Amino acid sequence: MALIVQKYGGTSVADAEKIRNVARRVTRVKDEGKQVVVVVSAMGDTTDNLIKLAYQVNEQPGDRELDVLLSTGELVSSTLLALALESLGYKAVSLTGAQAGIHTDSSYSRARILRINPKRVVNELEKGNIVIVAGFQGVNQEMDITTLGRGGSDTTAVALAASLNAEMCQIYTDVDGVYTADPRLVPSARKLKEIGYEEMLELASSGASVMHNRAVELGAVYNVPILVLSSFSDSPGTIIRKEVSMEVRNKVRGIAYDTNVSKVTIVGVPDHPGIAAAIFEPLARANINIDNIVQNASIDNITDLTFTVARGDLIKAMSIVEPVVKSVGGTQCVADSTSAKVSIVGTGIQNAPGYAARMFRTLYEQGINIQLITTSEMRITCIISEDRVKDAIQALHQAFELEKVQP
């Protein structure tokens, strides 16, 4: 029998009325004669409130206890959804992460799923139950509760869909799909009917926050089609799946931006082997994620080096880099938090001529200065001044004709 896995986020189950609404949506799939597994997040701001409580009794709460504490949020929402389904006359059963067979490593607060033993889920489905699984959690070898960290419930849903060989994993959220650009900034932005896994990953890591990358990666590995859609409307959503019509369509699939960017420029560094390692190794040890690194061509063996970090990491990054720069004989170290990233994303755009050039020309015609350029297999990113982001993405959206429906 065909099986659908659905996942509902915290805003979709924020109160009793919304939970009843989700229940009605779940029954539609059941009424089509399909089996349904539903993964839920904690209600609204439950998780934040639990974290607040933990900090009231301990300024540095330990991960093991925090994980048990936070896992209760999903238990509450999963039982309430099961109860709501029962009140509509459907058979439903809620399962904890442990009961659903979600086995993880012991990295509390950011556990990785090692394997899923879906025996209990399958049994309950065979009994005719709609199965509700508490998202975001699993158990380690000692049967201690772990949580999966950011994007956890999405990951639970896609992993379950993979292990159950589901037809599709539907991610219900508060946006109704993936757009060619942020519709709040680009009124002509168009919702994509479909997008490839890798394109979605690039869009997300370039700032489009629809789903956490972890779940998309898992979908790509196990080839699980992921449908992103809204629990508050009936609009059709966007399906994330293996590229099918790569050659015929517009290669630019979307435009993303990210304003959580700080730029660090190191001026006058002697250009000899080992200099990059000397700078970036201590940053890695401090767990600071470096986003883009650009090194200018060297003149007289002196070069400039620029990289970007998240704004929250800037002070820490500067405190690490400044002594290093001094010790290697660099001139100075300049921090700048007025920049933002703008990216065009699409499979193969790096190898196709003209995309980069068109992007640069478009920004030039808007009078927007490009501070840095980085590219990947399917992304071209420019760092520009933050106050020009809106102009940039509107112009790029038009230049790449994203408002037009693609085949």
Where does this chain bind a copy of itself (CB under 8 A)?
Answer: 16, 19-20, 23, 50, 53-54, 56-62, 64-66, 68-69, 71-72, 75-76, 78-84, 86-87, 92-94, 96, 98-99, 143-145
- In whole angstroms, give the CA distance from residue 124 to residue 323: 60
| Cα dihedral across residues 19, 22, 26, 31: positive or negative | positive
Min dist. Cβ of residue 20 to a copy of itself (A): 6
Min dist. Cβ of residue 51 to a copy of itself (A): 11
Residue 286 DSSP label:
T
Whole-number Cα distances in Å, 124 to 30, 59, 276, 389:
14, 42, 56, 50
Min dist. Cβ of residue 67 to a copy of itself (A): 9
Min dist. Cβ of residue 62 to a copy of itself (A): 6
Min dist. Cβ of residue 8 to a copy of itself (A): 14
Q: Is 294 buried (19+), middle (13-18) or exposed (0-12) by CB count in 10 A?
A: middle
Would you say 139 or 393 has its CB closer to a copy of itself? 139
Would you say 55 or 364 has its CB closer to a copy of itself? 55
Whole-number Cα distances in Å, 24 to 20, 96, 288, 364:
6, 22, 44, 51
Of 345, 377, 359, 386, nearest to 255 by C-alpha is 345
Would you say 22 or 218 has its CB closer to a copy of itself? 22
- Tell me the Ramachandran region of residue 24: left when phi exceeds 0, alpha when psi lies from -120 to 50, beta otherwise: alpha
Would you say 78 or 163 has its CB closer to a copy of itself? 78
| Cα dihedral across residues 58, 59, 65, 69: positive or negative | positive
Would you say 110 or 358 has its CB closer to a copy of itself? 110
Tokens, residue 240: 């994330």
Min dist. Cβ of residue 48 to a copy of itself (A): 14
Would you say 88 or 315 has its CB closer to a copy of itself? 88
